[in-house]
Each structure stands twice: as structure tokens, then as C-alpha cells.
A and B are shown apart, each in its own frame.
Chain A
Amino acid sequence: MTTRLTVTAAPAAKLMGDVAQVIASLPVSLHHAPEAQGADLVGIAGNAGWAAEAIAAIGAGARGVMIIDPVGEDVGALIDAAAAARVPVVIDSTWSHNPAVASGAGAFTEQHSADSFVESRVNAPVGSDIDRVLLNQLALVRAAVGPVRTIRFARRNGTGYDALATLASGASAGLSGILSDSVPVSASLRILRSETAAELTLPGPETATPGQAVVSGPDGATLLPTLWETAHRAAWRRLHSLVIDGGTSDDLAGFAEDVAATRAAS
């Protein structure tokens, strides 16, 4: 039987994470807390100061914390606080919780090796915070393939960036972000090998339009099962499970590595 947990989120978090819609789509698992204080789960907008807010929420008794689209911040103290209180902290980044990412993970593991070249592109609206766009892309690469260790910008300006990266595995990557209001918010990631390929195409996190994970080779192409779930909903479902099952999240540790990589970028 599913245990229903109460949720609270400040207006900014509700807006950025489409929280009301998520709760409406998980009525057996989640419901709005009658008061801000004492909610089981707390949604926090990832704007400046979010790590301190999260520490405060844990101190106030939250059983699980959701960070929505965070800016780069030091999270060492938050990692310590979450571990001490055994509170899972999940990061609702733009792409990584899309169900197609998990669906394609096995295929990417098969394609991925030290000599792979990983290509990823993100389309974001005009005016987007480039650092945030990049952090979300790094979270996607981490979830689908593996963590990025170094980044070198070939180009970074007001219309986006093109970066060359190396992964912990030794694989290299080309990461692009393009800002435009004429291209739907979306992301893609692929590994092309001489005989085979794995490709992901993802819609924005607020839509249940399915992402697509496709594996192809000399025998043809396979579209992996399509799931009509938004990335936001999948993130909250995961947090709910972690709290109910007593699980832990390594999202903050990965985020800290990604932030370090962006700060060391040349």
C-alpha cells in the first residue's frame, strides 16, 4: 500500500517544478500539506541560497527534500546535514528524471567506452541562465552515461555555448546549449559507434510527451518503450520511494562534482 506524504513548496518552487500538477497526478502518494510547517516533503526552488533553505527544512523535520533546477552552490554542509538526519535530497534537474533516460541507460552502458564520443545538445529559451543550462546538461550526461570531469569552452556567449568535455571513463564529449524561443525546449544525447548507436531525445520537464530512447545497429533500430510521464513527476515519485523505503540519494554528491567541473572549466 502506498503511503501518502504531505508536500509543501514555496510559490517559486511550485512554479519552477510544476508542483501542483505533480501532486494532482500522484493523488495516492502525495497531497498538499495543510500548513507549511511539518510537511513530510519540501520543494525548494534552486535559486541563490537554496542550500541553506534545504538545511533549514531538514532542521525543521522534513523527511525528504526536492531541489528544483538549482544554481551552482557549495553543498558540503547540506550533504552533511542530510546524511546526519537520513533525509534524501533529490534534485529535479531539467532532463535527468525523464523516464526515457532510465529506459535507455542499459543501451548507453553498452555503447559507452573510453574511446566513445558523446554528443549532447540542449535547446533552452532566450534569456536562460547559461550556468544552469550547463548544469542540467551535465546531470543528464551523468544519468545517461557517466560523470563529466573536465570542460573546455570552444564558445560561450549570450546565445549559448559549445564545449568539449572528458568523462570519468576517459570518453570525450561535445556539449552544446542553444538559446532560442523558436526551437522547443528539448535535449538530445547520443553515442555513435562504427556499427551501433544509442540516442536520446527529450522534451521539456513539464510535458508528458514521451522522450525517445533509440538503439540502432546493422540489424535495424529499436525504439525503447515510451512512457508518458513528465520529468518532474518522475523526480517526485523517486523522492517518495526513497522516503518510504529509507533509501539515500547521491544527487548532491553528483551535483557537487558537476559544479566543480563547471568552475574549473577553461
Chain B
Amino acid sequence: MTESTLGVGILGAGPVTQAIHLPTLARLREVFHVARIMDVDPAIAQSVAGRVGAAWTTDVDELLADDEVQIVVVCSPHQFHAEQVIAACRAGKRAVLCEKPFAMTQTEAEQIAAVSTETRVPIIVGAMHTFDPGWIAAKENWGDLVETAHTIRYTIVLPPNARYEDFATEVITRPVWPPRDPTDPEVAAEMIRGNIMGLAIHDLPLVRVFCPDFTDLEVLSSQVLSPSGYLVNLRVGDRNVQVHGAHSSSWRPEWTFEAIADDASLRVDFAPSYVQAGSAIAQLRRGDSTEVYGPYRANGYEAEWRYLAALARGAAEPLDVTVLIDDLTFALDVADQASEYVRTALTTTQGAHA
């Protein structure tokens, strides 16, 4: 460590920490050093901390009490996010980065916002694509597309995590997902909710940008896809929105966001989330011409961390916390309504066949 770098404390040392944040921080050694890593599994905490010469602990409070930790990163399971973000704010840290989702209920989100306002500790959510230089460049150039877009498409075709995690780092833990029965209404509803809050949530903030009336939301269809995935059609205000995800071991990953109007359209192609592969490539089409932005050298993670450093040093304006709450509100609405749609549809169908 040097005095000129910011000390980072990480809560949770799973694949996201190992494959995303540590490789990103390795690119930013002039800005950050990892001071301490916490995980409930001591072997993992010690092993991962050992890679970067950091101290380790199994205790959240110990990490928060460490004066060398100036920035806290919350990478623990979703259900712990809210309490740990609040605790980090109360501990007087300079800034907090919470992996998405930063809360699991509206009430939690409002509590976080209140504590952030009270303690003046800035919070950002790890929605890395909102920081992606390709997306930012598109935003600066898309003109009135937010007003004119009528159709939003958001698709992820994801290879197995190991395909890219293993090239970002050497992962020593990985969750195991037991097989589930998607014909069971409760299981299907939980699969949809889990997919929305775990995967689709990455770019729901981007979708919301193009849905000014985001609270006027109606799920038009929702289903678990075979062999694994989800397809949700939404009406959000007057926008037609489709959110789609599929897990496939074939060699054709895809992560795209589109906003389409009558006379202009945007397509953004993102790299898979774990890899250090530069920014997205954004294409803006108007008539017969196409403007292309990117790829830029830095990806969204790096941009997110650089912004975090600026926040911690008081060199950047904090994000409006209401934006984060609105993003979460939108994601929860989509997840709740889409899962309820599936539950009702399957229950009705199975009742009809009983």
C-alpha cells in the first residue's frame, strides 16, 4: 500500500470479487489497494486476500472497523446487501460500492437512501453498463431517442460462467445450482424472479432510461424458456419492452440492448460481464447512416471504479440516490409481476388439465 492510494475493503470473496473486482483493481493500482477481504469461509477469505497482499477476516464488523478501509465493496449474497451498505455508511467510510441489487425491497432501498443522506457517504450500485464508455458515448449522441423510441429489446445469451470467469481469474469457489422443475408454478415463479434480479437486473437501469413512465408497467407475457432462460414482454408506459435471457453452452454469446424509434435506433453490444474486453460498441442509426462509438479501452467496471475514486476524494458529484431507488423499484416491479404472471399462468393451465 501507499498513502496515495485508497484502501478497499471487500465483503464477500466469491466469483464476482475474484473474477471482476480484483482484476479490475489490478488495472488501477495507481488509485487503489485492497486493504482487507471478508468472507464467511475463512479458507476463501485467506486465499483470496493472499492473492493481493490484503488482510482477511470472517467478520463484517472487523472489516468496517479497519481504518485502512476507506471504500467498502459489498459482494455478499443479495439478502445481506442492505444491512451491510447501511453499516458501511454508519462506519464513516468514504464511499460504498454495492453489487446489484443494492436491496431486495423498496423499504430497504429507502432506508439506505436515508442513511446515505444522513451520513453523506456516497453509494453507487455496480450496474457496470451504466458506466460503460460505449453506453456513455451513445447517451451523449442519441439526441431525442429517449422521447421517440417505441420498442426496447434487451437480450442476453450467456455461455456458462466458467467460460469467461476462468479466463478472468482462477476461481476457487463457484455456486452449484441443483436442477429445478420449471413446470412447478412456484419453482417457475422463483426462477423468473431469480433471473430478473440476478441477471436481467444488469441492464434494467438502461431500459428504464428509455421508459420515462416506468411506474406504468404491465407484464404482457412471461415464461421460463427451455432449456434455461426467460422471456418477458412488457408494456412500460407507451413503450414495447422485451427482456430475454438464455443460458447456452454454444459458442455464440450475445449481450445487446436496443432502443428503436421510427427514424432512429440504438444498438449496444456488450462483452460478457466478467471479461476485461474493453467497452461496449454502440451503433446509432439514422436513416441510411450509422454512427459507431467504441470499442474504448476501458470497460464499465473500470469506469465505475474510477468514478468511485473520484467520489471518495470529493472530486465528483454523488449520484442522486432517488435514481438508484427508482432503478430498484423498476427491477422489483418487473421481477414481482413477471414471476406472478408465470405462477398464475402455470397454475391456471395445470388446473385446466387436472
A interface residue numbers (CB < 8 A to B): 115-117, 119, 126, 152, 154-155, 157, 159-160, 162, 164, 172, 174, 176, 178-183, 192-197, 199, 214, 216-221
In the complex, residue of chain A having the shortest beta-carbon distance to the beta carbon of B267: A183
In the docked arrangement, what's the CA distance between A210 and B157, Å? 24
Q: Which residues on the B side are within 8 Å of A152 (C-beta)?
A: 221
Q: Does B285 contact A (CB under 8 A)?
A: yes
Q: Which residues on the A side are within 8 Å of B233 (C-beta)?
A: 154-155, 162
Taking a contact as CB atoms under 8 Å apart, the answer to whether A162 and B220 are in contact is yes
Taking a contact as CB atoms under 8 Å apart, the answer to whether A180 and B260 are in contact is yes
Taking a contact as CB atoms under 8 Å apart, the answer to whether B249 and A195 are in contact is yes
Q: Which residues on the B side are within 8 Å of A179 (C-beta)?
A: 262
A interface footprint on B233-249 (CB within 8 Å = 1, 0 otherwise): 10100001010101111
If A196-B248, A217-B249 are given as contacts, then 13 extra A-B residue pairs at C-beta distance below 8 Å, sorted by A number, are: A115-B226, A160-B240, A172-B226, A178-B153, A178-B260, A182-B260, A182-B262, A194-B249, A195-B248, A196-B249, A218-B251, A219-B251, A221-B251
Rounded to whole Å, the gap between the CB of B18 and the closest CB of chain A is 24
Closest 5 pairs between A and B when the two form their complex, measured CB to CB: A154-B221, A154-B220, A197-B250, A182-B265, A216-B250
Contact of A221 among B153, B247, B252, B264 (CB under 8 A): B252
Within 8 A of A (CB), among B190-230: 220-221, 223, 225-229
Q: Which residues on the B side are within 8 Å of A117 (C-beta)?
A: 225-226, 229, 231
In the docked arrangement, what's the CA distance between A178 and B249, Å? 29
In the docked arrangement, what's the CA distance between A216 and B252, Å? 7
In the docked arrangement, what's the CA distance between A214 and B246, Å? 17
B interface residue numbers (CB < 8 A to A): 150-151, 153, 157, 220-221, 223, 225-229, 231, 233, 235, 240, 242, 244, 246-252, 260-265, 285-287
Rounded to whole Å, the gap between the CB of B143 and the closest CB of chain A is 12
What would 12 A/B residue contacts be, using CB atoms closer than 8 Å?
A: A154-B221, A155-B233, A159-B262, A176-B242, A178-B151, A180-B260, A180-B263, A181-B263, A183-B260, A192-B229, A218-B250, A221-B250
In the docked arrangement, what's the CA distance between A155 and B246, Å? 21
Q: Which residues on the A side are within 8 Å of B260 (C-beta)?
A: 178, 180, 182-183
In the docked arrangement, what's the CA distance between A5 and B181, Å? 59
In the docked arrangement, what's the CA distance between A219 and B249, Å? 10
Rounded to whole Å, the gap between the CB of B245 and the closest CB of chain A is 11
In the docked arrangement, what's the CA distance between A199 and B227, Å? 16
Taking a contact as CB atoms under 8 Å apart, the answer to whether B265 and A164 are in contact is no
Taking a contact as CB atoms under 8 Å apart, the answer to whether A164 and B249 are in contact is no
Taking a contact as CB atoms under 8 Å apart, the answer to whether B251 and A162 are in contact is no
Q: Which residues on the A side are within 8 Å of B151 (C-beta)?
A: 159-160, 178, 180
Q: Which residues on the B side are within 8 Å of A154 (C-beta)?
A: 220-221, 233
In the docked arrangement, what's the CA distance between A182 and B240, Å? 17
Q: Which residues on the A side are within 8 Å of B248 (C-beta)?
A: 192-197
Given A194-B248, A217-B251, A182:B286 Cβ within 8 A: yes
In the docked arrangement, what's the CA distance between A259 and B225, Å? 27
Given A180-B260, A180-B265, A182-B285, A159:B249 Cβ within 8 A: no
Taking a contact as CB atoms under 8 Å apart, the answer to whether B235 and A182 are in contact is no
Rounded to whole Å, the gap between the CB of A125 and the closest CB of chain B is 10
Taking a contact as CB atoms under 8 Å apart, the answer to whether A194 and B227 are in contact is yes
Taking a contact as CB atoms under 8 Å apart, the answer to whether B252 and A197 are in contact is yes
Taking a contact as CB atoms under 8 Å apart, the answer to whether B227 and A157 are in contact is no
- Most chain B CB inside 10 Å of its own CB: which residue of A116, A119, A154, A174: A154
Contact of A220 among B247, B251, B262 (CB under 8 A): B251
Rounded to whole Å, the gap between the CB of A51 and the closest CB of chain B is 33
In the docked arrangement, what's the CA distance between A217 and B250, Å? 4
In the docked arrangement, what's the CA distance between A21 and B221, Å? 43
Q: Which residues on the A side are within 8 Å of B242 (C-beta)?
A: 162, 176
In the complex, residue of chain A having the shortest beta-carbon distance to the beta carbon of B145: A182
Rounded to whole Å, the gap between the CB of B167 and the closest CB of chain A is 16
Q: Which residues on the A side are within 8 Å of B229 (C-beta)?
A: 117, 192
Taking a contact as CB atoms under 8 Å apart, the answer to whether A126 and B262 are in contact is yes
Q: Which residues on the B side are within 8 Å of A182 (C-beta)?
A: 260-265, 285-287
Q: Which residues on the A side are within 8 Å of B223 (C-beta)?
A: 164
Rounded to whole Å, the gap between the CB of A251 and the closest CB of chain B is 30
Taking a contact as CB atoms under 8 Å apart, the answer to whether B240 and A193 are in contact is no
In the docked arrangement, what's the CA distance between A105 and B261, Å? 33
Q: Which residues on the B side are within 8 Å of A115 (C-beta)?
A: 226-227
Rounded to whole Å, the gap between the CB of B144 and the closest CB of chain A is 13
In the complex, residue of chain B having the shortest beta-carbon distance to the beta carbon of A216: B250
In the complex, residue of chain B having the shortest beta-carbon distance to the beta carbon of A198: B250
Taking a contact as CB atoms under 8 Å apart, the answer to whether A162 and B286 are in contact is no
In the docked arrangement, what's the CA distance between A152 and B220, Å? 11
Rounded to whole Å, the gap between the CB of B344 and the closest CB of chain A is 15
Contact of B221 among A157, A164, A193 (CB under 8 A): A164
Q: Which residues on the B side are within 8 Å of A216 (C-beta)?
A: 250-252
Q: Which residues on the A side are within 8 Å of B231 (C-beta)?
A: 117, 174
In the complex, residue of chain A having the shortest beta-carbon distance to the beta carbon of B246: A192
In the docked arrangement, what's the CA distance between A180 and B264, Å? 8
Rounded to whole Å, the gap between the CB of B37 and the closest CB of chain A is 34
Taking a contact as CB atoms under 8 Å apart, the answer to whether B250 and A196 are in contact is yes
Given A155-B235, A214-B252, A181:B220 Cβ within 8 A: no
Q: Which residues on the B side are within 8 Å of A195 (C-beta)?
A: 248-250
In the docked arrangement, what's the CA distance between A239 and B250, Å? 37
Q: Which residues on the A side are within 8 Å of B227 (C-beta)?
A: 115, 193-194
In the docked arrangement, what's the CA distance between A217 and B260, Å? 31
Q: Which residues on the B side are within 8 Å of A193 (C-beta)?
A: 227, 248, 250
Q: Which residues on the A side are within 8 Å of B250 (C-beta)?
A: 192-193, 195-197, 216-218, 221
Taking a contact as CB atoms under 8 Å apart, the answer to whether B240 and A162 are in contact is yes
